[in-house]
Structure 1
Amino acid sequence: MKAAPAAQKRLLDLAELDSALDRLAHRRRTLPELARIDDLSTRLARVATQVIAAETEAGDLAREQTKAEGDVDSVRVRAERDQKRLDSGQVSSPKDLASLQSEIASLGRRQSDLEEVVLEIMERREAADAQVARLTAERDELAAERGTVEDARDTAFAEIDKERAEVQAKRGTVAGDIPADLLALYEKLREQFGVGAAMLHGGRCLGCRTSLSIAEINRIKATAHDEVVRCEECRRILVRTPESGL
């Protein structure tokens, strides 16, 4: 392949711009905000699950408390009804009177036991509600922090994308100065090796950092200036300049 030396040198400008684009892409992929968002999202998902579990437990305890309080009310109503019968003097039979007094005493003990159950449930519910409040606050705090980090990420993305657009515009201008066949070769090599062209500097390929043999240097010296030469080691296009040491 042949190309004017000036066109070949433009490959170095193109390679520099491509390296800049690669660096920008790497910056975009490795922003510290991305790792932070992933960490916060993981923690947020875990806490959100804990909130649901805590709310479920608190709801179950609320229903359990309501039922227990209903049981207390039921026993209290029965005890009050029996006490009224006893106080009214309607029960005259000693046997029935003893039975009624025994039932009232039994209901009193039952009510006391049920009230203890209600108190125990209330304590558990209070702890569950506190857990819900704590976890909800933690969830909201994590969500707010993630939102802040996402804003920082978006700002960084915008800056990188702006710079990338500017570099892309410059690349388009440089690529327009390069013959189509040479540009196609460069693009193919760049896809394979990451860098499609490198300067021959002081007898060394700056693409693979390999020093050329004397025989190879002599071969390149004998090659016409418009001939496109390749590094024998890495197969990239070697661009000759006054610093090539030829």
Structure 2
Amino acid sequence: MKAAPEAQLRLLDLQELDTALDRLDHRRRALPELAEIEHAENRLRELGDALVAAQTEISDIDREQKKAEQDVDQVRARADRDQKRLDSGQVSSARDLENLQSEITSLQRRQSDLEEIVLEVMERREEAETRLRAVEADRETGDKALAELTARRDAAYREIDGEAELTKQARAGVVTDIPGDLLKLYDKLRDQQRGVAAAALLRGQCQGCHLQLNTVELNEIRAAAPDDVIRCEECRRILVRTKESGL
């Protein structure tokens, strides 16, 4: 392949710009905020699950408390009815009176036990409410942290995208100075060589694979026409001759 020396030199400018774009792309994908955002989102999902669990627990406790209070009311109502019967004098039989008094005493004990259960359930509800408030506070803190991280990420994106846009504009200007067939080869090698398609020959060393060329190879390059497109024998990248090539 043939190309004017000036066009070949422009390949180095193009390579530098493309390398800069690759770095910007890597920087965009490797922003520390991305990992922090993922962690924050996972934490918020955990807190969401914890919130549902806390709300469900309170709902279950409320049903339990309602049932316990209903049991207390039923026992109290029955004890009140028995007490009224006892106070009314309607029961005259000594045995019936004894049985009624015994039942009232039993109902009072049962009411006391049930009231203890209600108090215990109420205490559990207070504890559950405390846990719920703690989860809600953690989630609010997590939401704020995620918002801050997202804002930092978006600001970094804007900065990177701005640099990338300027670099792309500069690249477009360089591309116009490079023949189509040379540019096609460059693009093909970029895909094959992990982004580096053109490298300078610097003091007898390929700057693509960083290997020193032997005497035979250097003599072949010295003998080549200025517009010959040279390839590194080791890495097959386009080898661009410069004033510092050592030829």
TM-score bracket for this pair, using the shorter chain length = over 0.9
Q: Which amino acid in the other structure matches residue 51 of structure 1?
A: L
How many residue pairs end up in the alignment? 246
1:199 aligns to 2:207 (yes or no)? no
1:11-49 per-residue CA deviation (whole Å, 9 max, x = no partner) reads 000000001101101110111111111111122211221
Instruction: Tell me which residue corresponds to 1:74.
Output: 74
Q: Which amino acid in the other structure matches residue 133 of structure 2?
A: A
Secondary structure at 2:2 match in 1: coil
Secondary structure at 2:240 match in 1: strand
TM-score between the two structures when normalised by the length of structure 1 = 0.98
Please report how far the alpha carbon of residue 198 of structure 1 lies from its aligned counterpart in structure 2 after TM superposition: 0.4
> Hey, what's the Cα distance between the residues in 2 that align with 1:162 and 1:199?
29
Secondary structure at 1:227 match in 2: coil
> Hey, what's the Cα distance between the residues in 1 that align with 2:74 and 2:39?
53
Please report how far the alpha carbon of residue 231 of structure 1 lies from its aligned counterpart in structure 2 after TM superposition: 0.4
> Hey, what's the Cα distance between the residues in 1 that align with 2:243 and 2:141?
61
> Hey, what's the Cα distance between the residues in 1 that align with 2:75 and 2:144?
50
Q: Which runs of 5+ in 2 are unaligned?
A: none
> Hey, what's the Cα distance between the residues in 2 that align with 1:88 and 1:156?
86
* Structure 1 segments (4+ residues) deviating >4 Å: none
1:244 aligns to 2:239 (yes or no)? no
Please report how far the alpha carbon of residue 91 of structure 1 lies from its aligned counterpart in structure 2 after TM superposition: 1.6
Query: RMSD value over aligned CA atoms?
Result: 0.9
Instruction: Tell me which residue corresponds to 1:116.
Output: 116
> Hey, what's the Cα distance between the residues in 1 that align with 2:173 and 2:81?
99
TM-score between the two structures when normalised by the length of structure 2 = 0.97
Q: Which runs of 5+ in 1 are unaligned?
A: none
> Hey, what's the Cα distance between the residues in 1 that align with 2:176 and 2:196?
19
Instruction: Tell me which residue corresponds to 1:35.
Output: 35
1:11 aligns to 2:7 (yes or no)? no
Residues 1-246 of structure 1 mapped to structure 2, 5 A cutoff: 1-193=1-193, 194-246=195-247
Please report how far the alpha carbon of residue 152 of structure 1 lies from its aligned counterpart in structure 2 after TM superposition: 0.7
Q: Which amino acid in the other structure matches residue 196 of structure 1?
A: A
Question: What percent of counterpart residues are identical?
Answer: 59
Please report how far the alpha carbon of residue 69 of structure 1 lies from its aligned counterpart in structure 2 after TM superposition: 0.7
> Hey, what's the Cα distance between the residues in 1 that align with 2:153 and 2:131?
32
Q: Which amino acid in the other structure matches residue 191 of structure 2?
A: E
1:194-225 per-residue CA deviation (whole Å, 9 max, x = no partner) reads 10100001111111111100100000000000
